[in-house]
Structure 1
Amino acid sequence: MPVVSRRRMAAVVVAVGLWVGGAVPAAVGEGPGEARLSGVGVLDPRWGFAAAAAGIEIGYGTTDQWGRAARGSGALYLPHGVPPVGGWPVVVWAHGTVGIGDGCAPSRRPQSERNSAYLNRVLDRGYAVLAPDYQGLGTEGQFSYYNSAVEGASILDAVAALRTVPVPLSGSWAIVGQSEGAHAAMSAAGRYADSGGGAARGLRAVVATGLRTDPPHSLRAMFRRGSTGAQNQVGYAAYFLAALRELAPERVTPYLSDFGRDYVEAAATQCLSDLVARAAGRRPADLVADPDHPTPTFDADIAALTGYRDHDLPADILLGYGTADIDVPPTGTDAYAAALRAANRGIGVTVESYPGADHSGAFLASLPDALAFLDAHLR
């Protein structure tokens, strides 16, 4: 790593301190759809990571599920020490399912022990961590769960927005996503491929653990009577139905059970753990009148909601899964990796399995492989 002068060290400290303190204004776009910062502030320390030297709350312009100008929120965490020449490389943290209501936004809640253990190591490694909430979490409008366009825009626009401010960040970045965040990471990579990156150029790697590789198939199976799996699945199912209902209520609402109508309504505000507790042991099949056909256009609607470009992608990919995952069964992961390799001749696609690890456990188990992958692509 190049030697940094004491004068430059002092300049970096002053610039970051002034920017966060408001003495250096953020580059604010004229419209909420512009990928520029609309606000910054000091993040409540209770919502941060112990290994971060600073936690910065951000607002920025992006788009919603209708393609309209909207605002996103999130947080930027800076590591301790002095940035290398060229700035700290950036790891974008694409979070998993927390809920779809404003109160569920990760930048406004304490971090879980699992996420803290993982991201503290990333920060200790000398990476800045950018953590978008996804548009609609903590900002106006409802978050459209697993909506590839919303997730992808939330990530790319957050990266682009940070390019407009005086923080020493590298032009190279990577995405790490778990569960829903794995889908968000792949969605961002697909959107990047469509656009060439634009103002978010510099994507070097994608790490995706617990990826739902075929949502229409796996979700249809999840809704069937007698399906097994984690209790969390009833919450996931409600969030999917809420997203579909917002986009086309006439294709969802008439096909919900009485319990399902109440439960999907509650899903709009309740975060995952509370929503699952509300179900009192009931399963996804209880949400709909006909579990074999949750809605008449279920497969097509789920495919439209969750689909992303997965050919000619711009960066190497690491997929990881736990063999004991019952939240998002990984049975199709190896086949999907093979399909990715066939459709992406210019990149590497690596798969790692973690024997005995469940959905959450695989994320932590993947940390050594993820750090090595990040180092290989960002250093």
Structure 2
Amino acid sequence: MSMKKLLVATAMAALLAACASAPTHGVLPTGLAAGDHVLSPFYAWSGALPAQPGVMLRSEPQPPQPEFTAASVQQRILYTSTDARWQSGVLPVSGTLYLPRGEPPRGGWPLVAWAHGTLGVADACAPSWTGHRPRDASYLNRWLEQGFAVVATDYQGLGGPGPHPYGFWEAEGRSLLDGARAALAAYPGRIANELVITGQSQGSGSSIGASRIAASYAPELRLRATIATGVLPSFPDGPYQAPEAAPSPNGPVRFPMLRLVGGSIPDGGPSAESLVTPQALPMLQMARETCVDEMRGYEQQHGLNAGNAFTRDPAAFDALLTKTSQMSLVRLPAPLFLGTGLADRTIPPRRQYAAVAALCKAGNPLVWKTYAGITHNGGVNAAFDDELRFVRGVFANQLQASNCTTIAEPGAPQAVTAGIRFND
């Protein structure tokens, strides 16, 4: 988008926002201010929706990606889920579905449900539309190579109607579980009800969130294991709080902007425009129209940070918004694997350690692995061999022993190890 067009769009959006009323509980916000865009007729469901979640509405071939060498089927899918943010009922959610090559084993291939990291909140950022990032596609292909089917949700509102409730772990968890339901219904006998949930960064909250609600929301699913890398959730009642968790004026702008558009302002709260300084208003409009990589470039080019982009100081700004990544302490119903790159500067290792320590305190029999010199991006694929070993053990009823008693605070991020693919 050109700067002239961006400024015009920003002015129009600000005018519309000033005239609009606050979102109503039970009504899904829609339109350009909610990040809605026309992608293709596939995403626009005009008929009546089934009353139940997890129903496959339709599918079509997904444009092939070169990374998916082990896939016999690559599909774009549309299925039903339920709105956990605005409580508007059943709504369509998009995603992708992949089957391995060859014949399935007796009972079908076990299923991996993938929860992606931050891409944006505009519909145009949906991975079913853009294709998966090469990093993620390479990771998912490794599961296909090992004989797992893969379903990958876009999440509520990312491709489908209404805002994407960015970081709302219950909304994302429902999208994840309902994608698994739809995949099982679409391929009876070919996909087995043997579910592994895995996610990175934003998706780590989705995967842990899905595990939290699985027994009550989707009790028919047989959840065998949960995996999370680049661990995002925070636990106020945990035994350790990382120093990096406090809001900072030097913090990034793109993630708070996504939260403003993605439903983190409480119903009846101030408009997003009133919380953003004039110099940062174009970036708010970018959040509605573009994706996180473009936002990062604009943020860096214009010297924006949490101290100059918002009309409230970082602590007050953070206090206003819904704490979408916070969780209470609870024991999860399935074994848990967590992975952390020790060179992660996006979610620093001490923040991830705080989540691990809290999950241990809750009594979870988890395994936490750390990876020297590995970044936030690099952790996705660096952890795969350990994840596979963990999952194989679960399926063989040979669960790895928890290492909760030996975990230790890892310190500040390390230097990055060069020469490793995706480790930027």
* TM-score bin (small chain): 0.7 to 0.9
| 2:163 aligned residue (116, 131, 142) | 142
For 2:314, what is the secondary structure of its paired residue? coil
Alpha carbons of structure 1 residues 151 and 38: separation in structure 2 relative to 1, 3 Å: same
Alpha carbons of structure 1 residues 48 and 139: separation in structure 2 relative to 1, 3 Å: farther
Tell me the equivalent position of 2:393: 376
For 1:327, what is the secondary structure of its paired residue? coil
Tell me the equivalent position of 1:265: 285
CA offsets 1:294-324 (integer angstroms, 9 cap, x no match): 42xx337432x33345513111111111111
For 1:190, what is the secondary structure of its paired residue? helix
Distance 1:33 1:252 in 2: 33
For 1:75, what is the secondary structure of its paired residue? strand
Correspondence 1:107 to 2:124: no
Tell me the equivalent position of 1:207: 227
Alpha carbons of structure 1 residues 307 and 335: separation in structure 2 relative to 1, 3 Å: closer
| 2:147 aligned residue (121, 126, 151) | 126
Tell me the equivalent position of 1:338: 357
Deviation at 1:41, TM superposition (A): 1.6
Tell me the equivalent position of 2:342: 323
- 8 Å Cα contact 1:191/1:308 also seen in 2: no
For 1:331, what is the secondary structure of its paired residue? helix
Distance 1:289 1:261 in 2: 11
- 8 Å Cα contact 1:48/1:111 also seen in 2: no
Q: CA RMSD for the aligned pairs?
A: 2.6
Alpha carbons of structure 1 residues 334 and 293: separation in structure 2 relative to 1, 3 Å: closer
- 8 Å Cα contact 1:318/1:350 also seen in 2: yes
Distance 1:261 1:45 in 2: 37
Deviation at 1:356, TM superposition (A): 1.2
TM-score (ref. length: structure 2): 0.74
TM-score (ref. length: structure 1): 0.82
Tell me the equivalent position of 1:88: 109
Distance 2:354 2:180 in 1: 31
Tell me the equivalent position of 1:179: 201
- Higher helix fraction (1 or 2): 1
Letter in 2 for 1:57: R
Alpha carbons of structure 1 residues 61 and 163: separation in structure 2 relative to 1, 3 Å: same
Distance 2:205 2:139 in 1: 19
Correspondence 1:67 to 2:87: yes
Distance 1:171 1:294 in 2: 45
Letter in 1 for 2:349: P
Deviation at 1:188, TM superposition (A): 0.6
Percent identity, please: 30
Deviation at 1:283, TM superposition (A): 1.9
Distance 2:386 2:80 in 1: 33
| 1:235 aligned residue (234, 242, 254) | 254
| 1:53 aligned residue (63, 72, 79) | 72
Correspondence 1:367 to 2:389: no
Deviation at 1:336, TM superposition (A): 2.7
Give 5+ residue unaligned stretches, structure 1: 1-27, 228-232
Distance 1:218 1:254 in 2: 31
Tell me the equivalent position of 1:35: 54
Tell me the equivalent position of 2:44: none
- 8 Å Cα contact 1:255/1:294 also seen in 2: no
Letter in 2 for 1:259: Q
Deviation at 1:32, TM superposition (A): 6.2
Greater displacement, 244-253 / 91-100: 244-253
- 8 Å Cα contact 1:212/1:330 also seen in 2: no
Tell me the equivalent position of 1:44: 63
- 8 Å Cα contact 1:181/1:208 also seen in 2: yes
For 1:83, what is the secondary structure of its paired residue? coil
Give 5+ residue unaligned stretches, structure 2: 1-46, 397-424
Alpha carbons of structure 1 residues 73 and 219: separation in structure 2 relative to 1, 3 Å: farther
Alpha carbons of structure 1 residues 147 and 125: separation in structure 2 relative to 1, 3 Å: same
| 1:302 aligned residue (319, 322, 333) | 322
Distance 1:269 1:311 in 2: 37
| 1:284 aligned residue (299, 303, 306) | 306
Distance 2:219 2:164 in 1: 24
- 8 Å Cα contact 2:151/2:183 also seen in 1: no
Distance 1:47 1:138 in 2: 23
Letter in 2 for 1:212: L
For 1:53, what is the secondary structure of its paired residue? strand
- 8 Å Cα contact 2:234/2:327 also seen in 1: no
| 2:370 aligned residue (342, 353, 361) | 353
Distance 1:246 1:224 in 2: 22
Following TM superposition, where does structure 1 have runs of at least 4 consecutive aligned residues deviating by more than 6 angstroms?
A: 215-220
CA offsets 1:247-278 (integer angstroms, 9 cap, x no match): 45417543321233332232022111111112
Deviation at 1:219, TM superposition (A): 11
- 8 Å Cα contact 1:91/1:130 also seen in 2: yes
